[in-house]
């Protein structure tokens, strides 16, 4: 069942919109409410708008900025109205809150307009003038993502055509449950691996190609306007309600799990190389698994074995060789081609270029600080998972940064996955049982799955290339499966 995002029968929403308020304040907010213009194919429209009136300068209660009525170089205002616009869904994650600020002068005319844009805000002037329809500021909403611009040309100029297309198509839902500083305490506990998988599954159904024709004009209705503090109290309950609803109505076999290319598409290109990562992207992988350790001179490199002898034309242990020495070696591919050993930074750049997530397995404890630093510097917390067979290294990652998703790997079936994960604060468990039985999926019993889920842990599985095993794993309802040949993880039907 596809849940309609515009479902007005939502009891929680109906109760919110009946919030008691001062009608004079709502009438004022309605008089100056902005007109939102959406792409013709936009699947998600706003459900409610929280407003705040400013008759003097003050800090926004819902956005990291100060609202100033008098600003040098700008027309003076006697009133500012902040509109905090709520959607249940953004094309990439559960819930969206964007803002418009309308400034009114002493004569009751709109004199300035500002709006939110990917965490910041900007003036809403187009060609030196405010786009107005009477007392209503006109703003254009980025397809799927909803950031505001005074003119549609902004989107391509500031975001890029490729990024815009990826975010509404193959990356739909990949943000999972969104967490902002405003709701860190209330919503952070709701962002579990399973909840993220549910969100990804739901939003993939709404993936779309923007028409780039902004023909949907959305007029905020007076009954949608409520004081901000009422909307703020309601939001965490609405997010929790959606997660509960999706969990009840999403069959396990339909979950859109992460397709993880093991050491890149290593069935076709030299493992752990940029060529293998590029091939993984071409085969529709979501993430690439890569192994990271450090050189003698402290560089983080992507390489699996502790010695280079087996897959390169060199000899020696990685941690006994300098980066310069490693760069002289090449890794042999299955087709006889040879590729250089990449640094972690080179691997990250490649993944960002090809819109791939990173599943980083730490192969040496000395790599932990470098991995954490790189994830923080490149802002990868929403697209990276860090794992290891060494529980203490997993714990070390969490100690450096609790917000980085982590995974603990183990190779034998008699390990208690819940206790192991809890001991190191891991978010995912990753059994590596591909060689443990002729049908390793049988080891993932219903009891095992239920217990892991009850403790809100994600499940990522070993690299698998047997179609019958992949089919069986798919039916279990997991969060990710690895494969040397990631095209085997594609759904047999036309799943995005």
Helix axes 228-249, 193-204, angle to 10 degrees: 90
Q: Are residues 79 and 103 in contact, defined by beta-carbon separation less than 8 angstroms?
A: yes
Residues 6+ apart with CB under 8 A from 458: 192, 193, 194, 196, 197, 407, 427, 428, 429, 479, 480
Q: What percent of the chain has pLDDT over 70?
A: 97
Cα(first)–Cα(last) distance of the chain, in Å? 17
Residue 186 confidence (pLDDT): 96
Q: Are residues 174 and 383 in contact, defined by beta-carbon separation less than 8 angstroms?
A: yes
For 460-473, what is each residue's pLDDT tens digit? 999 999 999 999 99
For 211-261, what is each residue's pLDDT tens digit? 999 999 999 999 999 999 999 999 999 999 999 999 999 999 999 999 999
Q: What percent of the chain has pLDDT over 90?
A: 90
Q: What distance in Å separates the CA atoms of residue 351 and residue 264, rounded to the nearest whole number?
A: 10
Q: Are residues 148 and 117 in contact, defined by beta-carbon separation less than 8 angstroms?
A: yes
Q: What distance in Å separates the CA atoms of residue 342 and residue 288, rounded to the nearest whole number?
A: 14
Whether the per-residue pLDDT at 10 is higher than 80: the answer is no
Q: What distance in Å separates the CA atoms of residue 18 and residue 36, rounded to the nearest whole number?
A: 23
SS (H, E, C) the chain: CCCCCCCCCCHHHHHHHCCCCCHHHHHHHHHCCCEEEECCCCCCCCCEEEEEEECCCEECCCCCCEECCCCCCCCCCCEEEEEEEEEEEECCEEEEEEEEEEEECCCCCEEEEEEEECCEEEECCECCECCEECCEEEEEECCCCCCEECCCHHHHHHHCHHHHHHHHCCCCCCCEECCCHHHHHHHHHHCCHHHHHHHHHHHHCCCCCCCCCCCEEEECCHHHEEEHHHHHHHHHHHHHHHHHHHHHHCCHHHCCCEEEEECCCCCCCCCCCHHHHHHHHHCCCCEEEEEEEECCCCCEEECCCCECCCCECCCCEHHHCCHHHHCCCEEECCCCCEEECCEHHHHHHHHHHCCCEEEEEECCHHHHHHHHHHHHHCCCCCCEEEEECCHHHHHHHHHHCCCCCEEEEECCCCCCHHHHHHHHCCCEEEECCCCCCCCHHHHCCHHHHHHHHHCCCEEEEEECCCHHHHHHHHHHCCCEEEECCHHHHCCCCCCC
Whether the per-residue pLDDT at 5 is higher than 70: the answer is no
The per-residue pLDDT of the chain, averaged, comes to: 94
pLDDT band, residue 83 (cuts 50/70/90)? very high
Picking from 182, 163, 186, the residue whose alpha carbon sits closest to that of residue 86 is 182
For 355-411, what is each residue's pLDDT tens digit? 999 999 999 999 999 999 999 999 999 999 999 999 999 999 999 999 999 999 999
- Domains in the chain, start-ordered, CATH in brackets? 11-250 (no CATH), 255-489 (3.20.20.190)
Picking from 273, 284, 202, the residue whose alpha carbon sits closest to that of residue 489 is 284
Whether the per-residue pLDDT at 429 is higher than 80: the answer is yes
Whether the per-residue pLDDT at 103 is higher than 70: the answer is yes
Beta bridge partners of 299: none
Helix axes 391-400, 417-424, angle to 10 degrees: 40
Picking from 339, 347, 351, 353, the residue whose alpha carbon sits closest to that of residue 367 is 347
Other Cβ atoms closer than 10 A to 230: 15
Picking from 438, 433, 492, 491, the residue whose alpha carbon sits closest to that of residue 463 is 433
pLDDT band, residue 3 (cuts 50/70/90)? very low
For 257-293, what is each residue's pLDDT tens digit? 999 999 999 999 999 999 999 999 999 999 999 999 9
Q: Are residues 34 and 220 in contact, defined by beta-carbon separation less than 8 angstroms?
A: yes
pLDDT band, residue 450 (cuts 50/70/90)? very high
Chain centroid to Cα 399, Å, comes to 22
Whether the per-residue pLDDT at 495 is higher than 80: the answer is no
For 283-334, what is each residue's pLDDT tens digit? 999 999 999 999 999 999 999 999 999 999 999 999 999 999 999 999 999 9
Mean pLDDT on 73-98: 96
pLDDT band, residue 2 (cuts 50/70/90)? very low
Q: Are residues 43 and 208 in contact, defined by beta-carbon separation less than 8 angstroms?
A: yes
Q: What distance in Å separates the CA atoms of residue 177 and residue 271, rounded to the nearest whole number?
A: 32
Q: What distance in Å separates the CA atoms of residue 298 and residue 303, rounded to the nearest whole number?
A: 14
Q: Are residues 424 and 450 in contact, defined by beta-carbon separation less than 8 angstroms?
A: no
Picking from 147, 152, 102, the residue whose alpha carbon sits closest to that of residue 121 is 147
Whether the per-residue pLDDT at 493 is higher than 70: the answer is no
């Amino acid at each position: 069942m596809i849940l309609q995002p515009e479902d007005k029968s939502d009891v929680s929403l109906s109760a919110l919109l009946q919030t008691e308020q001062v009608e004079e304040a709502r009438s004022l907010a309605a008089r100056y409410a902005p007109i939102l213009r959406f792409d013709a194919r936009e699947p998600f429209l706003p459900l409610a708008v929280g407003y705040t009136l400013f008759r003097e300068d003050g800090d926004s209660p819902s956005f990291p900025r100060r609202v100033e009525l008098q600003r040098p170089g700008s027309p003076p205002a006697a009133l500012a109205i902040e509109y905090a616009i709520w959607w249940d869904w953004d094309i990439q994650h559960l819930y969206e809150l964007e803002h418009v600020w309308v400034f009114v002068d002493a004569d009751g005319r709109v004199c300035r307009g500002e709006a939110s844009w990917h965490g910041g805000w900007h003036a809403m002037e187009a060609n030196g003038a405010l786009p107005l329809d009477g007392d209503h500021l006109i703003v254009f909403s980025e397809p799927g993502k909803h950031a505001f611009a005074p003119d549609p040309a902004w989107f391509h100029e500031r975001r890029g055509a490729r990024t815009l297309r990826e975010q509404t198509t193959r990356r739909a839902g990949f943000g999972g449950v969104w967490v902002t500083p405003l709701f860190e305490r209330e919503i952070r506990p709701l962002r579990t691996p399973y909840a993220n998988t549910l969100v990804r599954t739901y939003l993939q159904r709404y993936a779309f190609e923007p028409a780039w024709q902004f023909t949907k004009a959305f007029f905020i209705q007076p009954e949608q306007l409520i004081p901000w503090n009422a909307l703020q109290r309601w939001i965490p309950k609405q997010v929790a309600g959606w997660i509960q609803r999706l969990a009840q109505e999403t069959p396990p076999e339909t979950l859109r799990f992460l397709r993880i290319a093991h050491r890149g598409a290593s069935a076709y290109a030299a493992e752990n190389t940029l060529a293998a990562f590029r091939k993984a992207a071409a085969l529709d992988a979501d993430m690439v698994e890569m192994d990271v350790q450090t050189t003698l001179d402290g560089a983080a490199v992507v390489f699996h074995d502790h010695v280079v002898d087996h897959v390169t034309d060199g000899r020696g242990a990685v941690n006994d060789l300098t980066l310069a020495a490693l760069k002289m070696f090449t890794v042999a591919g299955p087709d006889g081609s040879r590729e250089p050993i990449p640094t972690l930074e080179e691997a990250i750049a490649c993944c960002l270029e090809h819109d791939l997530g990173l599943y980083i397995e730490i192969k040496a404890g000395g790599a932990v600080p470098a991995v954490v630093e790189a994830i923080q510097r490149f802002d990868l917390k929403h697209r990276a998972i860090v794992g290891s067979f060494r529980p203490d290294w997993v714990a070390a990652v969490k100690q450096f940064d609790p917000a980085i998703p982590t995974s603990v790997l183990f190779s034998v079936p008699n390990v208690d996955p819940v206790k192991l994960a809890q001991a190191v604060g891991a978010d995912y468990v990753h059994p590596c049982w591909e060689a443990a039985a002729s049908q390793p999926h049988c080891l993932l019993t219903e009891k095992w799955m239920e217990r892991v889920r009850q403790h809100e842990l994600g499940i990522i599985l070993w690299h698998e290339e047997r179609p019958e095993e992949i089919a069986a794993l798919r039916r279990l309802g997991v969060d990710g499966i690895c494969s040397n040949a990631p095209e085997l993880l594609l759904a047999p039907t036309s799943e995005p």
